[in-house]
Structure formats: structure tokens, C-alpha cells
Amino acid sequence: MGLQKSDALDVERIREDFPILQREFDGQQLVYLDNGATSQKPEQVIDAISDYYRTYNANVHRGIHQLSQEASIAYEEAHDTVAEFVGADGREEMVFTKNTTDAENLVAYSWGLNELGPGDEIVTTEMEHHSSLVTWQQIGERTGADVKYVPITDEGYLDMEAAEELITDDTEMVSVVHVSNTLGTVNPVSELADVAHDHDSLIFVDGAQAVPTRPVDVKAIDADFYAFSGHKMLGPTGIGGLYGKRELLEAMDPYLYGGGMIRKVTFEETTWHDLPWKFEAGTPSIAQGVGFAEAVEYLEDVGMENVQRHEEALAGYALDRLSEFDDIEVYGPTTPEDRTGLVSFNLDGVHAHDLASIMNDHAVAIRAGDHCTQPLHDVLGVAASARASFYIYNTTDEIDALVEALDSARELFA
């Protein structure tokens, strides 16, 4: 049994907390390798959400009765828990959003539409997720700001020399993915933050694939904004986090309006609530917030250093196994320490969608397509790729199952 219990963490014990991993399809045990899209949920998170609905379901910040008080406290403390997890200075710097995409749009609309204009520049990268690339592209069109893209090297790294040339005194925002959801590359976001700040630019970091897989300290990075999603880190869907430096969030106007985000309303004017509530209009995702905090506490118990070591070990094993075959092309860095636990690849003569379908016949769940990175796939010269992405409950045995399923694909398309 490979990597069932390692120095990093006890995978066999962890798997017991995830009921969905016990599923079988046609007598075959589920092998879930699509964690880059969404992670599975432990019993603890499921129970925390159920407990909210069963015992103190109420709206927050709107009632004096006991249930509302309990729900409000739980929701506020969830902000504290998530903020501390990434090194933010309290709940004032942690806005709950629907997901990373929602956080990106919040900054783009609240900050970008007000601060950008003709002659200004936005610098992002060729490896960005559509949630970043498309958002800044559209903001550029609306404001007249130019959008520039840092290229990648043949090995799948950001070209840092090009980045230093592209980021100039005209740059107002640098937006970069911390970990590529296609290449697995871990980008030097702290170094990029230094370059951005040297030119009085802000930096937005998309941490959707980073916060679930490694320790993240937004203060050490010196990010101005940092976004991530709960569902990729054992939490529920419909909840995410946006860290923003307090002085920036205080200066920004909200882009959604309604109940919960106001201090005072008259027929003449409206004033906004304190942070972070001024950015959380309407009834928030209360149950999801409670589940988000529970997921963070679960990961803290596991230890994010352990999570990172496990991810790197799985990535290294997957790279070794896939390198055994001449008909497989792997994308991204070949050094496990330079990437997280996901591997995108193609099998010669087999479209990625066909490959994913064959994998499904063997109860192996992977993703196939462009992974919301169409421009990056254009750079790679492929229409699509298959992606296996790992998490804390995955084992080397499951990677072996992936490799065995590849043999079936070869036979079918021979």
C-alpha cells in the first residue's frame, strides 16, 4: 500500500472522515482525482452545516432573539477563523464572497472601475484562470486601461525577466495566480509583490489552488488583495474569502447594495457599514460560512506543512510514473517542489475528453478540457488536456490506478 501513512500525515485515517470516498461504481472503488475542481467534504464539515440548520438557523445581524444572536456570533467568528488562517489582521480584512471569481470581480468593480483609465496598465500572466484574465480584460475595455501578459517559459514557469520589464510606473494592478490550476506551477508571488510595489502598483493574488495546499501568509507575501474558495479546501460551495489590506477596503465603495451593508439610509443618501460587512450585501451564506470555518479548523489540525509535503510527494510520484511512457506529454515544471499536487497531461492519439471517459469506466475521476485556461492552452499548442489533481486523502495506489486506466486507453485507441 503506497503512501497510506507517511511522515507527513496519516492518509488512511483521514480517508475515514470522507464518506463519499467509500462509493463504488460497478464494483470498483472510487478514485477521486479531481480536487483542483473541488475537494470532498469531511464528516466534520457536513455536521457543522447540519448543526447550524438543526439548532440555530436564523438570519444574522437582523434579530435580537437568541437564534439570531447565536448565528451572528458563529458567522462573525467564522471570519476570524478564516482571517487568522491566512495571516490577515482580523475580520475587518476578510470579506466572505461566493468564491474566488466573485472576489476578483469585487476588486475589479469596486477598485478597478474607479481607479483605472486610459494610459494605465494592468499586468497579468499567460497562465491565469479565466476568472482573472477575463475580468481584467473586461475592466480594461471599460476603462481604457491596457492589459499586458507575462509570458511563461518552456518549462512552465513565469518569465520573471519579462515581468520586471512589463511592470512599469504606468502599472496600477498586477494580478497573478499563486498556483496555476493547469501547470501546477507555484509562482513567486512575494517577489512579484515587491516588483509591483516598487512601481506603486497594487497586486491581486488568486490563491484558489494555493490556500488549500500550502501555508499562506498574506502579510509575508505583502499582497494587497488575496482571494480563495472554500470548496477547494474541504469547505462547502458558495463561499470564499477575499483578503484586502484594511486601508484599501476602507477606501473602496461596495459594488453590491442592499440590506446588511448599510449604516444609515435616508431619501437623500446612504452610508456604509463597517468592514467587512459593507461588502456583504443581503442575507449572506451563513451555513457555508460556518462550514468554511470548520474546514479551516480541520486543515489546521492536519497541519498545512503536512498538506504541502503530501502534495509534493504525490506530485513527484505521479511525475515519475507518467515519465515511464514516451506517449505521454506532461505540462508544467518537472520538479515536485516547484509545483502543487496536480498534473496535466495528454496521451498521444487520444483526446482528453475521451481519456476522461475511459478513466470514468475505471471509476477514476479526473478533469479534461481547458480548465478555464484557454489562452494558456493556446500557448501550449493543445486544445485540451487531462488533469489529475490530488489532496490529503489521495494515495500513490490511486495514482497507480490512473496509470493502469491509461493502459486501457492505449489498447482502445491502438
Q: Where are the alpha helices (DSSP H) in 42-188?
A: 43-55, 66-85, 100-107, 113-115, 130-143, 160-166
Amino acid letter, residue 211: V
Give the up-direction half-sphere exposure of residue 280: CA atoms within 13 A in the CB hemisphere: 28
Catalytic residue among 21, 304, 372, 403: 372
Residue carrying the nine cell digits 468592514: 275
Cβ 151 vs Cβ 128: under 8 Å: no
Across the chain, how many H-helices and E-strands are there? 15, 17
Q: DSSP label at 333?
A: -
Cβ 325 vs Cβ 407: under 8 Å: no
Cell of 301: 489540525
Cell of 77: 467568528
Residue 205: active-site member? no
φ, ψ (nearest 5 deg) of residue 195? -65, -45
Cα–Cα distances in angstroms (integers) from residue 386 to residues 124, 255, 329, 410, in the given order: 25, 37, 10, 15
| 3-class DSSP assignment, residue 395 | coil
Of the candidates 171, 191, 34, 175, the one whose C-alpha atom is nearest the C-alpha of residue 100 is 175
| 3-class DSSP assignment, residue 152 | strand
- Whether the upstream peptide bond of residue 276 has omega within 30° of 0, thus cis, is yes
Q: Give the CA radius of gyration of the chain.
A: 22
Task: Please give the positions annotated as active site.
Answer: 372
